[in-house]
Amino acid sequence: MSSIWKKPADLEVINQFSLDGLVGLLGMKVIAITHDTMTASMPVDERTTQALGLLHGGASAALLETIASVAANWSVGDDAYCVGVELNINHLSAKKDGHVEATAKALRLGSTIQVWSVDIVDEAGAMVASGRMTMAVRQH
């Protein structure tokens, strides 16, 4: 099977690329790469929960957008970059502690539009959220 990645699929490089800003503040980290998926983790703690102590929907959405964006940008050559144009997410179950993992898989890798499906699961593999991210592909 051939890989969809146009840039080296190196976890250290990828994590250095996206550690600043919200990603670092929320403790997100890319943890796995296959030939066609990329997975990131995020802790469920005081940084990512809402007033009732549950995983904040906005934190889940940020994780979904982050892993889809990183994956999209790794799937294009150095002459292009991807930016988000649409995000949808369904919150399926509550989570109070531990961590969650989001796995992005491309549904379409077009020359101007990409669509990524992302599932967010808990440590036991139970679905916490699911969504899609549409990315515009732009040339440098």
Distant-in-sequence, close-in-space partners of 95: CB < 8 Å, separation ≥ 6: 44, 54, 55, 122, 128
Q: What's the rounded Cα separation, in Å, for the pair 11 and 131?
A: 23
How large is the greatest C-alpha to C-alpha distance in the chain, in angstroms?
45
Amino acid (one-letter) located at 17: F
Q: Are 82 and 137 in contact (CB under 8 A)?
A: yes
Give catalytic status of residue 86 as yes or no: no
Q: What angle do CA 72, 125, 107 make, to 5 degrees?
A: 30
> Of the listed 12, 65, 101, 123, which one is catalytic?
65
Rounded-to-5 percentages of helix, strand, coil across the chain: 20, 40, 35
Q: Which residues are catalytic?
A: 65
